[in-house]
Amino acid sequence: MKIEILTVFPDMFAGVLDASMIARAQGKGIIEVTVTDIREFSEDKHRKTDGYPFGGGAGMVMSVQPIAGALEHIGTEGKRMIYMSPRGRLLNEDIITGLSAEETMVILCGHYEGVDQRALDAYGFEEISIGDYIVTGGELPAMVLIDAVARMLPGTLGNDLAHSEESIYSGLLEYPQYTRPAVYTDAAGVERAAPDTLLSGNHKEIRLWNFRESLLLTKERRPDLLAAYLASGAPDTLDKDEKKVLDEVRSGQ
Ligand SMILES: C[S@@+](CC[C@H](N)C(=O)[O-])C[C@H]1O[C@@H](n2cnc3c(N)ncnc32)[C@H](O)[C@@H]1O
């Protein structure tokens, strides 16, 4: 998948694109990310990329000309055009799954008070939000989106099934995880042992323990998710032991 980022702060991407899973996905050729500096396409003699908003109001607005120049340079034909924006659809699993099937995404990062609407209209941008809050620019939201999409692509994670077992993607929140040591003594001198079941080596018991914990956590923190899970076909695929666990959790046992 090709991901083409348009930004006035290209340096912000360096650390993220060069590290961890995104670097690995690029190294394996699963994603190819390019960062285009909108400023390079400004025809203003001072390379300005913004202007005062028509009609007044606080802050500056990103001008259409440098954005259009950058887009004409990279080309837009057949590409999914995304503008990171708090006005957009809230990013979720369905959107990420849909995007992971795209061949090329162009991601426009806004800054200041946003982008001249004509740039968005002329190039058919859809708007995607990472949440109901405002951050300073579209760069961090773009990185969130790229990370979430990249880990859905085959080959990015060590185990391709890994994401389907994770919180949200599995339909439930993930159970608590533990690693060595089996007993940890905290700063107050309290001994905190990992659950015996997880150390038992009994795979069936471990699977049921994990499932119960997932259900309990989801019931407590995200009853909306649990309701969606129960209304889906997922419970029909459970074996009889899992169904028993589900019944127990639903009835509060
Ligand atoms: C300070 S914000 C501008 C907010 C804009 N004035 C508004 O009220 O909708 C600057 C840029 O950050 C990005 N941004 C801010 N919050 C975002 C969010 N929740 N999701 C996605 N992008 C966001 C957008 O690209 C936006 O153009």
pLDDT > 70? residue 26: yes
Domains defined along the chain, listed by start: 2-150 (3.40.1280.10), 166-250 (1.10.1270.20)
The bridge status of strand 183-185 relative to strand 191-193 is antiparallel
pLDDT, tens only, 144-155: 999 999 999 999
Nearest CA to ligand 1 atom 19: 86
Please tell me the distance from the alpha carbon of residue 34 to that of residue 60, in angstroms, as a whole number. Answer: 26
* Residue 160 confidence class, pLDDT cut points 50, 70, 90: low
Report yes or no on whether pTM surpasses 0.85.
Answer: yes
| Cα 204 to middle of ligand 1, angstroms | 47
Give the per-residue pLDDT at 167: 84
Please tell me the distance from the alpha carbon of residue 226 to that of residue 164, in angstroms, as a whole number. Answer: 16
- Output the ligand 1 site: residues, CB below 6 A: 84-87, 109-111, 113-115, 129-131, 133-138, 141
Report the half-sphere exposure of 235 (CA within 13 A, side-chain side): 15
* Residue 142 confidence class, pLDDT cut points 50, 70, 90: very high
Percent of the chain at pLDDT exceeding 70: 99
pLDDT, tens only, 229-238: 999 999 999 9
Query: Cα angle at 27 between 13 and 16, to 5 degrees?
Result: 20
